Amino acid sequence: MISRTAAARPAWMEKPKPLTLVAKGVALVVVLGIVIMPFVVVVATSLASNKEVVANGGWVLWPSEPTLRAYRQIFNGGIVTDALWVSIGITVVGTAASMLCTVLLAYALARPKVYGAKPVLLLVLFTFLFPPGMIPAYLLVKELGLLDAYGAVILPVLINVFNLVVMRGFFQGIPEELYEAARLDGASEWKILRVVVIPLSKAVLAVVGLFYAVSYWNAWFHASIYLEQDHWPLQQVLRTYVIGGAQLADSGAAEAGNVAAPQTIQMAVLVVATVPILLVYPFLQKYFTKGVLTGAIKS
């Protein structure tokens, strides 16, 4: 499928002109710089001392006396610490629930000629074309009595159709003979799923699981409309205090003289919200092109 596997230039290709090489090099450096630069500034500012931040007008490229004061302050109990735990809880519980429901439905829809599978699949795909809309979704959550319950930020987004289609496509690619062999051994559908299908699908399970985890971690809109302020996850707190410009009314911040500059705190919150994504990114990177592409081609 991939025509160019060797690192070398093919024999028919002429040597690139120096000017072309320079132009390409400049373009690459600019692209990389634009992507990486904001992260450098944010991390540097979060580590900088108050004096430096103030002297520099709010940002620092390289902290001369790095300090972890901002991080100590936000982890010292208070809004950000609480929000961090909420985010972790929503991400863990949400991902587990989503994976369970997605795997079960994808598996049942992947088996050939299952009774009722066709209408169910159509029902699922139609939601892709016609989402219910923000207001009806809100009223439904309200009628179900889920306002200010963590279920309100998990249940309405329990299954992502794209993830479901990717997983179903992968399950369908498992050779039919394996199913037949397992059935001849007397295994039930449930056992086939556990013993045959899941061990063969580690790659797609990893991709879909990470996609779910990233989306739960990044979510803030549902939290902003369904949850009270003291139940907010980190992204919604970040939104209010960094984009909205509100002050962090931390109890820890009251100790006079030992308070980090507001910019430093904001940037530290930004770093804390980003780091989990950076941590799982290498794993995503390892699997996603494969998983995403098989799914994209299928649909």
Partner 1 sequence: MVLYKPVKQPETKRNQRWKRFHRDRVLLLLMLPGLGYFLVFHYGALLGNVIAFKEYVPFVGLWDSPWVGFDNFSAMFSDGDFWHAVWNTLFIAVLQLIFFFPAPLALALLLHSLTSDLLRRFVQSVVYLPHFLSWVIVVALFQQILGGAGLLNGFLGDAGLNTVDIIGNPDAFKPLVVAQVIWKDGGWGTIIFLAALMQVNEQLYESAALDGAGPWRRFWHVTLPQIRPIVILLLIMRLGEILSVGFEQMLLQRDAYGPEAAEIIDTFVYYQGLVNGNFGYAAAAGLFKGVVGAALVYTANKLAHRLGEQGVYR
Nearest-Å Rg of the Cα atoms of the chain is 25
* 9 belongs to the binding site for partner 1 (CB under 8 A): yes
Candidate list 19, 64, 65, 130; residue touching partner 1; CB under 8 A: 130
Residues in region 73-92 near partner 1 by CB under 8 A:
none
Are 170 and 204 spatial neighbours (Cβ–Cβ below 8 Å)? yes
Q: 280: which residues sit within 8 A by CB, 6+ positions away?
A: 210, 213, 214
Residues in region 228-287 near partner 1 by CB under 8 A:
235-236, 238-239, 242-244, 266-267, 270, 273-274, 277-278, 281, 284-285
Stretch of residues binding partner 1 (CB under 8 A), selected from 64-72, 74-82, 95-103, 249-257: 95-103
**Angle (nearest 5°) at CA 62 between 249 and 282:** 80
Candidate list 88, 93, 96, 108; residue touching partner 1; CB under 8 A: 108
Residues in region 174-203 near partner 1 by CB under 8 A:
180, 188-190, 193
C-beta of 73 vs 236, nearer to partner 1: 236
Q: What are phi and psi of 60, to 5 degrees?
A: -140, 140
Residues in region 148-177 near partner 1 by CB under 8 A:
155-156, 158-159, 164
In whole angstroms, give the CA distance from residue 230 to residue 136: 25
In whole angstroms, give the CA distance from residue 82 to residue 147: 19
Candidate list 88, 93, 96, 105; residue touching partner 1; CB under 8 A: 105
